[in-house]
A and B are shown apart, each in its own frame.
Chain A
Amino acid sequence: MKDTYLISIVTFVYFFSAFLFLTAFIFRSDRTNRGAAVITVIGFITQTAAIILRWVHSYHIGYGHAPLANFYESLVFFSWSITVMLLFMRKRYRGSLIGAVSCFFAFLLLAYASLSGRVAGEIEPLIPALQSNWLISHVMSSFLAYACFAISFATSIMYLVKRQEVGRFVSLLPDKELLDEVTYRMISIGFVLLTLGIVTGAAWADMAWGRYWGWDPKETWSFITWLIYGTYLHARVTRGWRGLRMSLLAIIGFAAVIFTYLGVNYILAGLHSYM
């Protein structure tokens, strides 16, 4: 079976689990929440299988590389990373709304990968600069970091809505302290992974291009992202900032993530333009 076919199935599975999570949230149903989690796990296993299948298949056609090398593959892996973080988080936070939003993110990424005319699903050969063992660690840590930041973005938006403290919908939202804690946890883990992603990227650039840092737009934007989340962590841990300012930083941080991921490729020119 073709991996792209499996991925299009997973797209619908994630949409379905997002819908179930939302139902569980609105009707406060614990059973539906658990059902949604099971559906998410099924989607996740299928997606993992699709990624492995694509990896194996790339060897059959003679290109032989991890499926982390073009835009399509990065969208699929980004979506996979969000589900990983959601499932990891469920060890402690079982909130339906967080589940709904995460699954919806995962769905959107896959839908864009499968349906957009701009994204080619074919396995492509690697240019010499990409043929490196650093590829896997660099891309994996970067996208797992992006996934953490995506979830922290969602929880900070919820936090801002919760601040209103009026209306039936607002009263359904998780309480502010929990949202604040999840945001902080996700940003902490994301920051560690982002640091790892930047460092492995720099080590790789040193091997491939002969310099570890060259202020290429992608590098610069990852640095900007790092600074914003660095500000968040300093402000929170040492200066005890809470509330509105923290949520705004988390939102600006995620805007920087999106720009690092997409804006740099679509708007600015640079060495990373192949992805």
Chain B
Amino acid sequence: MDIITTTLGGTDGMGKSIYNFLASVRLTIVLFLTLAVASIFGTIIQQGLPLERYETLYSPRMFSILEFFDLFDMYHSWWFISLLVLLAMNITACTIQRIPAIRRQIAREAREADDSVFTDSRTRIAIHSDDPLPVIEERTISFLKAFGPSPRITRRDGKMYFFCERWRWAKLGMPLVHLSVLLILGGALIGTIWGFTGSMTLIEGQESNMIFRSGDDDGVTLDFSVRCDRFTVDFYPSGMPRVFKTDVTILENEKPVLSDSIQVNHPLFYRGLKFHQSTYELAAVKDFTIDARDQRTGENHRLTVLPMKKASLPGVDASIAVGRFVPNFEGQGPAVLAVYIEPGTPHQIFWLPRNRPSQAGATGDFIFTFEDFDGLYYSGLQIRKDPGVNIVRAGFILIVVGVALSLMVSRQRMWVRVETGEGGSRITVAAQADRNAAAFEERIREKARKAGLA
């Protein structure tokens, strides 16, 4: 790493100052705030609409300004990407610059104390003790054990030194976060360059190997095809969809190789592609199920009514038909406009929302209930190929670990020096924590008091 630093830094002033600029935290802060402010624009101006829409939304002058700065698709604009690239360079340079220091901090050799820690550390305790040395030693060890693994003891110039340290790996948090940001940015770049998103619309029984992409007339042709075996949708009583899913079969050379169902939140993975259930649309109704309860006999007749066809009612010279079908009637779920036909009387027309009985007929002989309908649906699948997604996922896991390491765990170090002379021993405690130093100091003082060291 030192070699990289020298190479990148160079010996000439120009290269060095560019490198220092790239590695500076000041640049990070400027980039963070610039990205933050810039991102706001993209949430105020709707992104990715067709250009004609913007012409109606903005005045011609405003339109040309916004278009000049690519603000209609700003997150993919040259200047936004440049900011991200600059951020990546900044992170790389800054991490490389700090790696030697981090290595020194983690290295075991660095754990040895020289006497300066006893004068420079934030937390210092010095006491005098007349107890014999073995007692002091035992007390010190038990005090240090409360903080970390077995302390290291060295003797030098007639003095005794104790050292103990924990969580030095927390120092890896910062490079880990930086690495994961690079992984996420890199993975996203790979996905943008070599990946695609498209869609496929299938009706039951249909198969296809064509993926459509908006703004791309040719689309993508797969060397296998997808068949929609069945589409099902299930609703809450309110008419809101509860579950919708497509049962599909993958066909390689016309031979079925895999059957599975695709549901929202449960995509299908096949040969580097991900198939998502995105939308559905009712193409046609095959038939309606309507219950007719005969009030005189109490009998219940279940009728299957075909669209545009009459269904005769049992025992009487009358029939029922469906005039109109509404998939969602005033937010209450599906409903049909039923037509009651009895020769010699005018037709009666009434709404039947699903599962809510209604009466019809001059004599009130029947109560009708629209039970259900059997629909034929288009299933809208979204297909995504993203060769960078695993890199991004690795970045996601590492960034959480890294941020937690660098913000919630802090390296803590403690040194104790025992100098024994004529009139007893002098014990000096020094402690350092990289974070939350005040809280750490409080704990040290308390533990030291308990151990009889203060």
On A, residues with C-beta under 8 Å from B are: 92, 125, 127-129, 131-132, 177, 181, 185, 188-189, 191-192, 195-196, 199, 202-203, 206-213, 215, 217, 220-221, 223-224, 227-228, 230-231, 233-235, 238-239, 256, 264, 268-269
Contact = CB atoms under 8 A, between A and B. Distances in A.
A87 to B, nearest CB: 17
Interface residues of B, number: 51
Contacts, number: 111
B400 interface: yes
Interface string B258-288: 0000011111000000101110000000000
Contacts of A202: 396
Given A195-B399, A224-B40, A228-B36, A234 B274 contact: no
A234 B25 contact: yes
B257 to A, nearest CB: 22
A196 to B, nearest CB: 5
A264 B384 CA distance: 27
Contact of A185 (B241, B244, B436): B436
B47 A192 contact: no
Interface of B: 25-26, 28-29, 32-33, 35-36, 39-40, 42-44, 46-47, 75, 188, 197, 236, 238, 240-244, 263-267, 274, 276-278, 382, 384, 389, 392-393, 396-397, 399-400, 403-404, 407-408, 435-436, 438-439
Contact of A129 (B265, B267, B393): B265
A206 B263 CA distance: 13
Contacts of B274: 210
B276 A220 contact: no
A181 B441 CA distance: 14
B197 A210 contact: yes
Given A192-B408, A207-B267, A227-B39, 11 more contacts: A128-B244, A128-B277, A181-B436, A191-B403, A192-B400, A199-B397, A220-B43, A224-B39, A231-B36, A235-B25, A264-B43
A128 B276 contact: no
B36 to A, nearest CB: 4
A206 B399 contact: no
What 6 pairs across the A-B complex have the smallest Cβ distances?
A: A128-B264, A210-B276, A227-B36, A188-B407, A217-B43, A231-B32
Contacts of A210: 197, 267, 274, 276, 278, 382, 384
A212 B389 contact: yes
A259 to B, nearest CB: 9
A128 B243 contact: yes
